Structure 1
């Protein structure tokens, strides 16, 4: 995924970027960790080096692989190289970017594209599903470790409060 392209396309991240680019990057990585955990897909986020001075860096954050390109290398170039190196008959690669030129370049490598808007809609759906799963879990969880009839629970509650 082209990290800065997604940041520029998603309203929440774009707003963060104007005040603090590092916060926008961190938030994108958090969201992609949720995406990876929910879908089971491996996620690699690539950021252009021109926003971060220094040499090429790779690290893992929330089990997400994060790459900052070399100084004279664009995210698009790195993504194309990754698409070539990762492509095999058992792996279907999806590249998230709204850069039209990049979309055509990755098609040539056998990868499928996902626009920033499509990824945002998918992420919103995932977040709703996570919320529903959490709510179901909370509702089905017993309030006590021992299941008690309501009448007995009321008696214990009165005792707890000091009543008889």
Structure 2
């Protein structure tokens, strides 16, 4: 199984859209990252874990799940890097290949020495955008191959039939 561990605040700081959201509202930036990673997980089939350190969210450590993505908030005195290093040690084995998404060079070196592979923030962003493009193309291709009526009908009639088919009328 492939496991992607994401350094949450590092990625937020590295991606322009999330950086702009962070300046307005950190919670929105976190939520948007979680949504994107949920889409990534659903499309790729990889397990995704996002780690946020206690710098922005004070209090006890917590672990929760949103959109089937595991989210970890570290303890107040624990950094995301420390938590990620523990996760890599715990998760890396013959059955799991662990990737860590971060642009922190020191963290990349540390996790690489523990057997994980690095995925720079830019590479993850490009992968995410390519995935979104593929999904749009698949939707367009699916629309093209949908059965067409053999009888030429006006758009409003087709729309009414579609509503009947869906039970909306």
Q: TM-score, normalised by structure 1?
A: 0.87
Q: Name the Cα RMSD after superposition.
A: 1.5
- State yes or no: 1:69 paired with 2:70: no
CA deviations 1:113-164 (Å, max 9, x no partner) are: 0000000010110010111112222232236xxxx4235x47xx5xx9xxxx
What is aligned with 2:34? 29
Alpha-carbon distance in 2 for matches of 1:105, 1:149: 63
- State yes or no: 1:150 paired with 2:151: yes
- State yes or no: 1:6 paired with 2:11: yes
Deviation of residue 46 (structure 1)?
Answer: 0.1
CA deviations 1:70-114 (Å, max 9, x no partner) are: 010000000000000001111110000000110011011100000
Which runs of 5 or more residues in structure 1 are unaligned? none
Task: Pick the aligned partner of 2:139 from 97, 110, 134.
Answer: 134
Match of 1:102, SS state, is: helix
Alignment of 1:49-60 (within 5 A): 49-60=54-65
Greater radius of gyration (CA): 1
Deviating above 4 A after TM superposition, structure 1's stretches of 4 or more consecutive aligned residues are none
Match of 1:49, SS state, is: coil
Task: Pick the aligned partner of 1:101 from 86, 101, 106.
Answer: 106
Match of 1:93, SS state, is: strand
What is aligned with 2:118? 113
What is aligned with 1:38? 43
Match of 2:55, SS state, is: helix
Alpha-carbon distance in 2 for matches of 1:56, 1:138: 46
